[in-house]
Amino acid sequence: MTKLSRTVRAVLIGGTLISLPTLSAAQEDILRPPGEDVQVPAEAEAAARLLAFVSEIDESADLQANGAIFEVEDVQLRLVFDLNADRMRVMTPVAPVSEITPDELFRLMQANFDSALDARYAIAQDAVWSTFIHPLSSLTTEDFASGIAQAVNLVKTYGSSYSSGALVFGEGDSADEQRRLVDELIEKGREI
């Protein structure tokens, strides 16, 4: 197992740059295999890291055998992972499907192309969801923190910019929407 970085990580959530806690040396030791001859599957190692990280983000997180329920910026998230499939998912409901107009559904699909980035809008169980999905074994702590932030941002920007963060992938339609929103915010800032 490689040593986990103890540097402070910052991510953009809801337009605010926040620092996420990192694992302590003691937590790293717990995650390290007890002997050099013991091989821990990468998926199990990653799952243990995710649960430790979630408990640092939200001390009252509900840790479970295959994931956790936790909160970031008043958004309740659910983490689920499957060691056998080597997959993990962070998700949170955004809105009931019954409230979505055809124009909004079209806008969600545009956002999935260029402004949702690593997180995505999805529809399941009569709800629109914000999701971040990734292979478990190759997921880094930085990827996980970024995925959480992006999923939270998709909830917070639903109905406005539909953005997971400050970036917009080129060649899509959301850049104009992002620019319009940024211009509005800059103009409001001048009024202060």
129/149 Cα distance (integer angstroms): 14
What's the pTM value of the predicted model, to 2 decimals? 0.69
State residue 49's pLDDT score. 86
State residue 34's pLDDT score. 55
What is the helix (H) or strand (E) element at residue 29, kind and residue range? helix 25-31
Strand residues in the chain grouped as ranges (E): 9-13, 16-20, 62-64, 67-72, 75-82, 87-96, 119-124, 127-135
Q: 141-156 and 42-57 helices cross at what angle (nearest 10)?
A: 50
Six-digit token string for 147: 């995925």
In order along its 192 residues, the chain shows pLDDT tens digits of 333 333 333 444 444 444 444 545 554 554 455 555 556 677 888 888 889 889 988 999 999 989 999 999 899 999 999 988 989 999 999 999 999 999 999 999 999 998 898 999 999 999 999 999 999 988 888 888 889 988 999 999 999 888 887 565 555 555 554 445 445 545 545 554
State residue 181's pLDDT score. 45
Q: How many CB atoms lie within 10 A of CB 160?
A: 10
State residue 109's pLDDT score. 95
Half-sphere exposure of 179 (CA within 13 A, CB side): 7
